[in-house]
Amino acid sequence: MTSKKTKKILILPDLRNSPINRSLLVISEEFKGTMELVVLAQSGGDLLIDFQERAWKVDSDLNGAQLVARSERYAGDGGNGIPLAFLIGIENSHLSQLFWKHFIPIIQFVDQPPQTQESIKIFNKYSRYMGAILFSSPDVKSVTYEKCRDSKSIAAYLCSPDDPMQLSGLLKKIGGELGERMKVETQDRKKIFGSDALDMNYAYPALRHQKKRAVGELTNAWRTGIGLTRPRPGFHPGIYAERYQLKGEDPFAHYLRAGEPVGPWSLPVIKPPFFFARKRTKLKAALQIHLFYPEMSDELIRRIKRSSSRPDLFISVPTEEVLQETRRHFQIFTDRRVEIRMVPNRGRDIGPLLTEFAAELQSYQVIGHVHTKRSLHLGDRGFVEQWRNLLMENVIGGKKPMMDVIFKQMEKDTKLGLVFPDDPNIVGWTKNRDPAQALMQRMGLQMELPKRSLSFPLGTMFWVRTEALQPLFDLKLDWSDYPEEPTPEDGTILHAIERLLPFVVEGVGYNSAVTYVSGFSK
C-alpha cells in the first residue's frame, strides 16, 4: 500500500528492449516508498492499468482510443497524490489527449523525430496536451522543433535514455513541478465547486448534473489553453488573467477569491425576464440580413414577428433566383420598408453591411446584422446549427422577443453602443491582430489592442448604435477591398472587422453588453 504522498507514473511502453525501458526498470526500485513506477503489460489489444482498487482501460486503437475511468479519478479527489502519464515515442503521442481529459499531466519521451507528414501532423496536434517533453539528444530536439513548431511552447528537457540516474532526477524534478501545479489546481477546483458561480447550463450543458467533472474541465482548460470556455455569461477569464498577470492560478478561482471585482473582463449581461411585455421601440431601427440560404426565410420571418418592434429590413442575396424567392417570402411585411438586393459573391456578410447598404443604414439610430450562417468549413453540421440557433435567439429572438428586450436596454442606456450574443466558447485573435491594428489606425482610433484575449461578436451577429459604427462606415469600403471567394478561413479583413467591433465602439465613447437566453448553447 502506497502512502498518500506517493506519485504514480503511468508508463506506456513501446514494447521494445529499448534503453529508456531498461532505465525505467533500473530506477523502479529507487522510487519505492516515494514514487510508484508502473510499467504496463499489453494484453491483446488493450493496455490494462490497475492502481490499488482503481482500474483504467486504454483502448490502443489509433482511431478510437479512449480512456475510461471505472471509478473515481485521481486528480483533485483528495486521494493518493497526483498521477503522471509517461508516454514513450511519438507514435504514442495521440494518447496524451486521453490522459488530459482525465486531468492527468503528461510527460512525453521523444527518442526519434517524426519521420512522416502524418506523424508531424499528429505530434503538432497532440503536443499541446503535454506537461513536458524529454528529448533523447539535442539533435532530436532540434529536428523535432524544426518539423513540429507547435511543440516549442511545451517545457522541454534533455535526457539520455541509457542513464538511469539522470532519468531518475528528471522524473523527480518534473513530477514535483507538475504535482505542485496540480495541487494548486485542486485548491482552485475546491473554490469554484464550493461556490454557485459556475453556470452549468451555460458553460457545460452536457455536464449540468456533473458539477465536479465540469469544474475539472474548466480548470483543466485554463491550465492548458485547450477547450477554453467562459464559466458564466459576461465573464472572460483570459482578459482577467492578462490584467492580473496570473501564472499558475485559475483565473475564475482568483476572481472569486478577490470578491468578483468589476473590470473589462465582465460585460453587462442582458437577459430576457420571465415575463416581458412586448413594446415597440421608439428607436429608428434597421435590420440588415445577408440571406445566402433562402430556405431559412420562414425561420427568420417567425423570429422577426416574435417582437413588437418593426425594424426596416435590408436584405442581400447572392442570385436573381434567390432574390425572387426572397421577395415572395418577405412580402408579408407591409408595415415597414423592405429592400432586397443582389450583391456580388464577395465580402461574405460584411460587404452588404458596410458597402451595399452603407448609405441607407446611416440614416437609422440602431442597426442589426444577421446572416444565414452555415460555416461549412467547420464540418460538424449539428454544431453549426446549434451555433446559428444561439446567435439568432439572442439577436432577433424566438423563445423570447429579444429585439424588444435589446431596444429597451438601448433606450435606457444611451451609452450602450454594441449588443451581441455571449458565446461560452473562447476565440482569440488567431491571425487577425496585426490587420485589425492597421484598420484601427486607418480609422484614426489611437488604441493599442490587447495582445491575446478579447470579447467580440463571434459569428458577426449584433445590434449596434449607428454612431458607434461610424468609423467603419467612414472607411468607405468597396467590394474590391474584400477577398475573392473562396475566402481563406482566417486572416482576412472580414475576420479583422469581426474582432474589431467592440474596440471601434469603445473608441468613439460607447460601451458593449452581451445577451444571454437560457437554454441555447453550442
Residue 30 confidence class, pLDDT cut points 50, 70, 90: low
- The domains located in the chain, with CATH, are 7-183 (3.40.50), 194-266 (no CATH), 281-515 (3.90.550.10)
- Residue whose C-alpha cell reads 456580388 in the numeric block: 344
pLDDT at 123 over 70: yes
Give the global pTM: 0.84
Over 81-111, what HEC string results? CCEEEEEECHHHHHHHHHHHHCCCCEEEEEC
AA letter at 446: Q
Query: Is the pLDDT confidence value at 291 over 90?
Result: yes
Rg of the chain taking only CA atoms, in angstroms: 27
Distance between CA atoms of residues 331 and 71, nearest Å: 60
| C-beta neighbour count of 219 within 10 angstroms | 28
pLDDT in tens, 392-436: 999 999 999 999 999 999 999 999 999 999 999 999 999 999 999
8 Å CB contact between 228 and 475: no
CB-based contacts of 69: which residues, under 8 Å, 6+ apart?
A: 54, 56, 102
Quick: pLDDT tens for 346-382.
999 999 999 999 999 999 999 999 999 665 445 566 7
Give the three-class secondary structure for 47: strand
Q: What is the pLDDT of residue 343?
A: 97
Please identify which residue in the block is written with the cell numbers 540516474: 165
- Given a contact cutoff of 8 angstroms between Cβ atoms, the answer to whether 364 and 285 are in contact is yes
Strand ranges of the sheet holding 35-39, from the earlier edge strand across to the other edge? 35-39, 7-12, 83-88, 106-110, 132-135, 156-158
Q: What pLDDT, on a 0 to 100 scale, did the predictor assign at position 25?
A: 65
**Residues 215, 216, 221: CA angle, nearest 5 degrees:** 100
Q: What is the pLDDT of residues 208-233, one digit of tens each?
A: 999 998 999 999 899 888 889 999 99
Q: Quick one: pLDDT at residue 42?
A: 34
Q: What is the pLDDT of residues 43-83, one digit of tens each?
A: 333 333 333 333 333 433 322 233 333 223 333 333 344 56
Residue 368 Rama label (left phi>0; alpha psi -120 to 50; beta): beta
Evaluate if residue 193 carries a pLDDT over 90.
yes
pLDDT at res. 520:
75
Calculate the alpha carbon distances from 238 to 241, 251, 254 in Å.
5, 7, 12
Q: Are 365 and 485 in contact (CB under 8 A)?
A: no
Residues in the chain: 522
pLDDT of residue 5: 40
Q: Where are the alpha helices (DSSP H) in 104-159?
A: 117-126, 138-147
pLDDT tens figures, 293-345: 999 999 999 999 999 999 999 999 999 999 999 999 999 999 999 999 999 99
> Model confidence over 481-506: pLDDT tens digits?
999 999 999 999 999 999 999 999 99
pLDDT band at 449 (very low <50, low <70, confident <90, very high): very high
- pLDDT for position 142: 96
